[in-house]
Amino acid sequence: MKKWSIGHPDAALVEAMHNGSDLSPLCCAVLVSQGCLNLTDANAFMGCRELSDPSQICDMKEAAALLNAAVDEGKKICIYGDYDCDGVVSVTILYSYLHEIGADVTWRIPERSEGYGLNQQAVREMHENGIQMIVTVDNGISAVEEAKLIKDLGMELIITDHHQAGEVLPDALAIVDAHRSENYSPYRYYCGAGIALLLVAAMNDGDTQMAMEQFGDLAAIATVADVVPLTGENRFLVQRGLEYLENTERPGLRALRKVSGLEEKPLNSTNIAFTIAPRLNAAGRLQSPRLAVELLLEEDEQKAMELAEKIHHINAERKEKENQILQESMKQVEENPEMLFDRVLVFSGKDWHSGVIGIVASRLEEQYGKPCFMISIHDGFGHGSARSFGDFHVFKALTACGAVLEKFGGHPAAGGFTLKEEKIPEFKTLLQAYAKENHPDMPFMEVQAVCALRPDFMFPEAVQSLEQLAPFGAENPEPVFLAENVLVQDIRATANHDHTRMTVRMQGQNYTAMYFGKAPEETGISAGQYCHMIVRLNVNTYNGRTSVTMYVQDVRPAGILQTKMLGAVQTYEKYRRHEELPESYYKGMIPERRELEEVYKAVTQTPVTSEALAAPMMLKNINYCKLLIALDIFTELGLMQKNYRTGEVFRIPPKQKVNIEDSAILTELRSLAGM
């Protein structure tokens, strides 16, 4: 269950902003909810119209001068990137520009098997190939040992990066990173490609307009893909870059757009994030990131299409591998459902593709609402990827487990690690111990809605006005809203049965509501039911009629008391983990016979989620923890069965007479309660 946080933007502030601007009340509500309390704040958020002078970034002047001199002197230069989308695009930008001005330049990107950033083997190979100057993009800020080797071998090093600097900086001729403490630029949150674009501008006396015209299309893709804040200059970069992208002259981008099914659709940050970027990333995940660079550099239309189709097929293969790992993970849950009560979920499997386990970790995190660590075991070692949310800090958790790890790295929301296979059980123990010590109550995944929908928000013109706030992404998410007390009039599956289409009635009007990724039986709702929904809004035109459609992000039956349910979940899971609770808690968890009968009657042979049962049981004074215990008792006695993949439970016809008093769960609870 996710925690819903519903905003209540101050009505007076919303009205004042609306009266003083051409912004719609809906846009104003979103801005106020994001902390823009007046038109000055709103203008600061939306009003960036140019990139700042790149020379204000520390070492940018020096890097530009050194590169210009290297070009003039004919030095052999290598642009060294990273294997993700940002690294691929960064290499493409800087290599393309240097090549165009006649530099003796080449490029290199490590394979995923080499690991992130510079490595000593790559440095030695570049030296053997006669490279005189290495310029990093999207990496290098932590390459202290590699920088020393580069200097010892007589090569020069320029670092351009956007990651946080450590206490010790590499020994380089210039280190361009807006996060350095010595930096005085007005904006710090560029991705690697943004820094590369600004370096191109700095090499041309700070001409950011020229740099944007040449490389804004590429930089927009990387900025969205790398999930850096879409605020300030990044917001402008993506807005303007999308305009250039619509009319790009790059055969590789046009081919990629075509194979992705976006040829006839307007490009925005959403389809870049979910369609374009995953394909560029897929090359490095499953084969080689070189393919993505070659695609972006290709000038021949036919060859570009061949490369785009190859990458498109690699992306399809990536999806297959993800689903395979997901299915194997689900099987582990079915074989050991108790693992779902752990504070942190840990899955491991033989020869899972290390390039996709991070994506699967995100999917499982979303499904079960818990931090997730995935480990692929190969040749006696486990290679792991972790995803988290809230205040559960992945890097701190890995640090606490450092004694059993060969290496690790990361940040609050994600991380990677390596350990010996035989150390995996100890790692799991240490990880759960860290979680228990630092998070007695684990955080819930949170959905933040702007506010409850009002009738005047539901006109096509109002919804279309939200485009004024685009592009959407990190720190400027596409707004979602609370649709309260929605009556589901009709619910049915789409043609492929992967999605759900509903006709709902809200505030006296009928609307279409789409729930992607879930079949009707997986939604926990049915026709005739009142529910609350978290939705985003869209305008659709069909047969000349324009209407507002709601796209459901989460749903729950009306009548659920969130605070009580979240507390009940925490108590229930602590019990299932055999953690000690106050004696009074156990007494409140034991269902009476009448309550067991009510729960049994509420569950039929049609699968239903426990959340769907929560509201009607609350009306009968059966709290959610007690409901979950009752379902466990019936499952234990063979009267019900639970699908741990969907969280649904359904009744099984009894084969023989069953005595509730035979339940081990009931006996244990009574003992713990001192009864």
What is the residue extent of each domain of the chain? 55-247, 248-333, 336-438, 562-672
pLDDT of residue 199: 98
Q: Which is more confidently placed, 654 or 491? A: 491
CA-to-CA separations, 63 to 201, 314, 602, 614, 663, in angstroms, rounded: 12, 37, 70, 62, 73
pLDDT digits (tens, 9 = 90+) for 609-651: 898 899 889 889 999 999 999 999 999 999 999 988 778 899 9
pLDDT of residue 535: 98
Q: Residues 571-576: what's their mean pLDDT?
A: 96
Q: Tell me: pLDDT of 295 over 90.
A: yes
pLDDT digits (tens, 9 = 90+) for 119-128: 999 999 999 9
User: Mean of the per-residue pLDDT values for the chain?
Assistant: 95
Rounded to the nearest angstrom, the gap between the alpha carbon of residue 418 and the centroid of all alpha carbons in its chain is: 22
pLDDT of residue 525: 84
Report, at the CATH architecture level, how domain 562-672 is classified.
Orthogonal Bundle (1.10)
pLDDT of residue 521: 78
**CA–CA gap between residue 406 and residue 427 (Å, rounded):** 11
**CA–CA gap between residue 559 and residue 524 (Å, rounded):** 14
CATH C-level class of 55-247: alpha beta
CB < 8 Å & 24+ apart, contacts of 96-100: 96/214, 96/215, 96/297, 97/200, 97/203, 97/214, 97/215, 98/67, 98/71
The beta strands (E) that lie in 396-478 are given as 407-410, 414-420, 446-449
Percent of the chain scored above 70 by pLDDT?
Answer: 100
Residue 206 is encoded by which pair of tokens? 């700070």
> What is the largest distance, in Å, between two alpha-carbon atoms of the chain?
91
Query: Count of alpha carbons within 13 Å of 451, Cβ hemisphere only?
Result: 19
466, 479 contact by CB (below 8 A): yes
Name the nearest CA neighbour of 633 among 675, 569, 671, 589. Answer: 589
Rounded to the nearest angstrom, the gap between the alpha carbon of residue 552 and the centroid of all alpha carbons in its chain is: 18
pLDDT of residue 522: 77
Buried b / exposed e over 68-105, threshold 16 CB at 10 Å, is: eebbeeebbbbbbbbbbbbbbbbbbbbbbbbbeeebbb
pLDDT of residue 543: 82
Q: Determine whether domain 336-438 maps to CATH 3.30.10.20.
A: no
- Residues paired with 346 in a beta bridge: 373
Dihedral angle computed from the Cα positions of residues 396, 397, 401 and 406, in that order, rounded to the nearest 10 degrees: -70
* φ and ψ of 599, to 5 deg: -65, -40
Three-class secondary structure assignment of 200-217 = HHHCCCCCHHHHHHHHHH
CA-to-CA separations, 592 to 285, 565, 598, 599, in angstroms, rounded: 54, 19, 10, 11
pLDDT of residue 139: 95
pLDDT of residue 87: 96
Helices of type H across 80-142? 85-100, 120-128
Helix (H, G, I), strand (E, B) or coil at 226: coil
Name the band, by pLDDT with cuts 50, 70 and 90, for residue 159.
very high
pLDDT digits (tens, 9 = 90+) for 68-106: 999 999 999 999 999 999 999 999 999 999 999 999 999
**Is 401 exposed, middle or buried, given 0-12, 13-18 or 19+ CB atoms closer than 10 A?**
buried
Q: Report pTM.
A: 0.91
pLDDT digits (tens, 9 = 90+) for 174-225: 999 999 988 889 999 999 999 999 999 999 999 999 999 999 999 999 999 9
Q: Tell me: pLDDT of 520 over 90.
A: no
Residue with tokens 């490095």: 284
pLDDT digits (tens, 9 = 90+) for 33-63: 999 999 999 998 888 999 999 999 999 999 9
DSSP letters spanning 293-343: HHHHH---HHHHHHHHHHHHHHHHHHHHHHHHHHHHHHHHHHH-GGGGGSS
CB atoms within 10 A of CB 31: 27
Q: Residues 212-241: what's their mean pLDDT?
A: 97
Q: Tell me: pLDDT of 472 over 80.
A: yes
Three-class secondary structure assignment of 491-551 = EEECCCCCCEEEEEEECCEEEEEEECCCCHHHCCCCCCCEEEEEEEEEEEEECCEEEEEEE
**CA–CA gap between residue 26 and residue 178 (Å, rounded):** 35
Cis check for the bond before 471: say yes or no (omega within 30 of 0). Answer: yes
**Is 443 exposed, middle or buried, given 0-12, 13-18 or 19+ CB atoms closer than 10 A?**
middle
* φ and ψ of 350, to 5 deg: -75, 130
